[in-house]
Amino acid sequence: MIIKQQIVNVSLVVDDYDRAIQHYTQDWGFELTEDIPLSETKRWVRVTPPGSTCSLLLAKAGNEQQEKAIGNQTGGRVFLFLHTNDFDRDFKRLTSKGIRCRENPRLDDYGKVAVMEDLFGNAWDLIEPIEQTKKST
C-alpha cells in the first residue's frame, strides 16, 4: 500500500477577507482560487501562488485570541516560504508594490533568499532554490 499525502491549504488569520484578497492577488500576484460564503461572517477563501498546489486559506479572526495572532502566528519566525524560478523578477515586483524586505537579499547554501513581510506582518522567505540559481547564471 502506497501512502500519498500533501498539504493543500495553510490557514492564515487575517483581519478582513477583502483586504487580504486584494493584498495577496494585487501585491503578491496570487490567484483567487475560491471565495465561498459560509455564513453571515465566515467565508472559505483561498489564494494560490501561480503554479502551486498549496493555497493560503484566509481565515478572518473571530475572537480576541485570533486577532492577537494576526501577523504573528509563529512567534515572529519566518512563517511561509515562497519558491520562485526568478528571484530578481519577483523581488522587484514585490518591493515595487510596497512589500517590505526585512533584510538585503543574500545568496545562501540553499539559494537566493530575502525575508519579506506581508501586509499583516507575517515573515516570508522569498527563495530561488540553488538549482534554479545555478541554471539562471
pLDDT at 100 over 90: yes
Looking at domain 6-70, what is its CATH homologous superfamily? 2,3-Dihydroxybiphenyl 1,2-Dioxygenase, domain 1 (3.10.180.10)
Mean pLDDT calculated for residue range 9-36: 98
Residues 26, 23, 118, 38, CA torsion sign: negative
Common-topology check for domains 6-70 and 71-137:
yes
User: What average pLDDT does the structure give for the chain?
Assistant: 94
Mean pLDDT calculated for residue range 123-135: 81
> Which fold does the domain 71-137 belong to in CATH?
2,3-Dihydroxybiphenyl 1,2-Dioxygenase; domain 1 (3.10.180)
- How does strand 9-14 pair with strand 55-60? parallel
Rounded to two decimals, what is the model's pTM?
0.90
Per-residue pLDDT tens for 27-61?
A: 999 999 999 999 999 999 999 999 999 999 999 99
List the domain boundaries for the chain.
6-70, 71-137
Q: From residue 122, how far is each of 17, 23, 113 by CA, in Å?
A: 16, 13, 16
